[in-house]
Structure 1
Amino acid sequence: MPKAGRYREGVPCWVELAVPDVRRAELFYGELFDWDFVEPDGLTGLSVATLHGAQVAGLVHRAPAGGGFGWTTYLAVDDADRAAGAVRQAGGRIVREPGEVADLGRGALAVDPLGAAFGLWQGRLNPGAGLVNEPGTVTWNEHLSPDPDGARAFYRQVLGYDYARPAGDYTVFRAGGLPAGGIGGNPGVDPDGPAALWAVYFGAADTDRTVARAVRLGGIVLDGPEPTPFGRIAVLRDHTGAVFTLIGIGREGAPEAA
C-alpha cells in the first residue's frame, strides 16, 4: 500500500468494518493488533482505531453495502459526486449517496458490476489512514472476483487505473502511475463469502503468532499460514464473520509491488 498522506485518486485510503457490536469488535481487534480507539465528536456509532497515535481503520455499527458484515475498502477520489456518477455510467450502483461526514470529508458507498462493495472518499481534514505498511496496519488491498477482466475494465473507466503486466489472471493496478493494489481471480478460500470482494491485508510482525492470537480471541483460520514471495500469509474470519488477511512484514514494511 502506498505511504500514508494525501492520497492520489484511486488509491485505497481507508478501511472500515461494519459490525453488529462495535464494543465487541474493539476487544477483538484491540487485542489482536494493539489498537486503541477514539470516538470522533458528533459521529455516533463510529470508532476509529489508532496505533502509535495514528488512525488506521474504522469500526462502524451498520450493515455494509454488499450484504453480511465485513471490511470495506475506501478509494480516494478528488470529487465524490463526480466519482459516483462515473460508477453509475460504468454499470455499478451507489448504495449510499455522497454525503458530508462532519468536517472530515465527503463519502459514498458503491457496489461494482461484479458485486463487490467499496467506498469513495473525498478527504479533507481526514485524508485517510495515517499509518500503513507496518504491523497492525493495512499493507495491501485487492479486488477478487470470477471476472478479473471485467473488474479491470470497470475500475479503468471509473478511476483511470492502468495495469502492470499480468501474472496469470492477477495484475497490479496503478493510480497516477504508481502501484496501488491488485485485481485478480477469487481463489475461493472462503466458501461462504461473496464471489467478488475487496480483500484487506494487515501486516503482522509474526504471522503464526498473530494467527494463534486471533484463534484465542474467537477467529477462524480459512487458509494458511503459508509462505509467499511477499511474506507469510494467512486468511482469517473474525468473530463476526468478516474475512481479512494477515501478511508477515519486516521492520521496513511490506515490499513495494513491482
Structure 2
Amino acid sequence: MGIWQADQHRGYGAWGEHGTPVWHEQFTRAYTASLPFYESVFGWTYEVLGDTDEFRYAQAIVDGDMVAGIMDATAFLPPSHWRVYFGVDDTDAAVAKVIELGGTVVDQPEDSPFGRVAGIADPLGARFQIASVN
C-alpha cells in the first residue's frame, strides 16, 4: 500500500459512483495489530461487525463516514493484502464484459449486504473487485 501527504492533489474527485472506487478492504493475518495501527496513523475509529473466530471484521470510520473494512483472514487467506472495489451499474453485465475483453472471474458474482459483488482480473492478472452501486 502507499500513502501520500496531500498538497494540490487532494485524492479522489469522485467516490461511490459508477466507475469510481466504492470501497477499500484489508484482509490481514494481523487483525489485532492492524486496528490500532490505522487508528494511530489515520485517526480511524471502528464499528465492529463481527468478533468471532469465524467472522472478525471492522469498518473504519472517519468523520462519521465509513471509509474501509478490515477482515481477519488468519484462517483462510495468506498473505495479507488490500482490495479495491469499483462501482458498476450491473455486476453481472460487467463480469460478462470482463470475460469478453480477455479478463477472468476470480470470485463469481454474489449478493452481499452491500450490493452484488464479484472479483475479477484484467488480462495481465491484476485483481480487483466490482460492486453494484444501485
Match of 2:133 among 236, 240, 249: 249
**Residue 230 (structure 1) aligns with:** 114
CA distance in 2: counterparts of 1:156 and 1:125, whole angstroms: 25
CA deviation map 1:133-163 (0-9, x unaligned) = 1111100011111222221122122222211
Structure 1, unmatched stretches of 5+, are 1-117, 189-193, 251-258
Residues 234/144 of structure 1: CA separation in 2 closer, same or farther (3 Å cut): same
**Residue 146 (structure 1) aligns with:** 29
SS in 2 for 1:152: helix
- The answer to whether the aligner puts 1:169 opposite 2:56 as a matched pair is yes
Moved over 6 A (4+): none
With CA pairs under 8 Å and 6+ residues apart, which has the higher RCO, 1 or 2? 2
Residues 138/165 of structure 1: CA separation in 2 closer, same or farther (3 Å cut): same
SS in 2 for 1:198: strand
- The answer to whether the aligner puts 1:127 opposite 2:10 as a matched pair is yes
**Residue 91 (structure 1) aligns with:** none
How far 1:181 moved relative to its partner?
0.9
**Residue 213 (structure 1) aligns with:** 97
Instruction: Count how many residue pairs are aligned between Structure 1 and Structure 2.
Output: 128
SS in 1 for 2:12: coil
Name the structure with the higher strand share. Answer: 2
CA distance in 2: counterparts of 1:181 and 1:208, whole angstroms: 24
- Root mean square deviation, CA, Å: 1.6
**Residue 136 (structure 1) aligns with:** 19
SS in 1 for 2:2: strand
CA deviation map 1:53-72 (0-9, x unaligned) = xxxxxxxxxxxxxxxxxxxx
Tell me if structure 2 keeps the 8 A contact 1:201–1:245. yes
How far 1:177 moved relative to its partner?
4.3
SS in 1 for 2:40: helix
CA distance in 1: counterparts of 2:111 and 2:70, whole angstroms: 20
Tell me if structure 2 keeps the 8 A contact 1:162–1:177. no
Percent pairwise identity: 36
